[in-house]
Amino acid sequence: SRPTPPPLPPIGPRSFDSDVPNASRMYDYYLGGAMNFTADRELAERAKSVLACTPSLARLNRSFLRRAVNACLDEGIDQFLDLGSGIPTVGNVHEIVQRRNPDARVMYVDYDATAVMHAKKLLDGNENAAILHADIRDPDSVLSAPEVLGLLDFDRPMGLLMVGILLYVGDEYNPKGLVATYRDACAPGSLVPISVITLEHVSKYDPVTHKQMLDLISVYDDASEQINVFGETEFTTWFDGMRLLEPGVTVLPDWRPDGALESDNDSPAGLLGIGGLGKIVR
């Protein structure tokens, strides 16, 4: 008989623990940040030893975030709810946004204590940006938080960002259902960029990277978040109730490329990340 799986960790904001490697600080390490600890760096190095292009994957995701936020600004969006915002690094959403529109508002949400602490420091004195320490798998704790309701107007379109976050949300938490819940809380015309990881392209075109990605997933068994992968067809259904804007769901380098990160675009990581931008219609 199969061993009983360990109980799922409780949903809710996480407290600080420098001994357990976590996704937020490992991502910070891949991006060249300094907000990480020995345990994070050791596991991130193990990740790189099985999939050398892991930092490229992080940079490609970050580049997709920048292009998607700019696309939202081009469409007149002036308020953002950024779910799983991460540790502040180069090109934070409020910096991209407020450079183009100083009055635009950004509400960050992350359940990681390190991300929240550093964001609070960075945002001190910025009246139009804040961070909420919450778990996005508990939508009510986000959508009814006074901080969120005080900064964002849910009767007007907003940018609802779920970039590089839902890969940490396994099927047992119904990621598609979560997207639908947040979608239904937002006004029509809101724009929703989402990115995840898929094995679909490497399984067809790059068996070596396919195997290395499976090894990377095993490495994350020792982190506080595990990595989940999704098929492109399934991922596309997460945009139900939205109109997918051009060019639809693509691998990250093909989503409205602007010439940046060309060397990363050619790395095997270019086949692993997929993303799209939906416009909520009702």
Residues that bind ligand SAM (CB under 6 A): 23-24, 27, 61-62, 65, 84-86, 110-112, 115, 135-137, 163-165, 168, 225
d(CA 116, CA 122): 10
Q: What b/e readout covers 95-111, taking b as 16+ CB neighbours within 10 angstroms?
A: ebbbeeeeebbbbbbbb
Q: Taking the C-alpha atoms of 113, 223, 88 and 62 in order, what is their torsion angle to the nearest 10 degrees?
A: -150
Q: Are strands 105-110 and 242-244 parallel, antiparallel or unpaired?
A: unpaired
> Helix or strand or coil: residue 110?
strand
Both tokens of 197, joined, read 């990881």
Smallest distance from ligand SAM to CB 125, Å: 23
Closest CA to 258 of 118, 107, 68, 110: 68
N residues, the chain: 282
Smallest distance from ligand SAM to CB 6, Å: 18
Smallest distance from ligand SAM to CB 65, Å: 5
**Which of 174, 188 has the CB closer to ligand SAM?**
174
**Which of 78, 112 has the CB closer to ligand SAM?**
112
**Which of 104, 161 has the CB closer to ligand SAM?**
161
d(CA 166, CA 60): 16
**Which of 78, 225 has the CB closer to ligand SAM?**
225
**Cis ω before 247 (30° cut-off from 0):** yes
Smallest distance from ligand SAM to CB 223, Å: 11
- Identify the DSSP state of 223: S
**Which of 23, 106 has the CB closer to ligand SAM?**
23
Smallest distance from ligand SAM to CB 87, Å: 6
Smallest distance from ligand SAM to CB 1, Å: 31
For residue 122, give every residue at least 6 positions away whose Cβ sits within 8 Å of its Cβ, in sequence order, or none.
Answer: 88, 92
**Which of 116, 280 has the CB closer to ligand SAM?**
116
Smallest distance from ligand SAM to CB 276, Å: 14
**Which of 136, 242 has the CB closer to ligand SAM?**
136
Helices (H) and strands (E) in the chain, counts: 12, 8
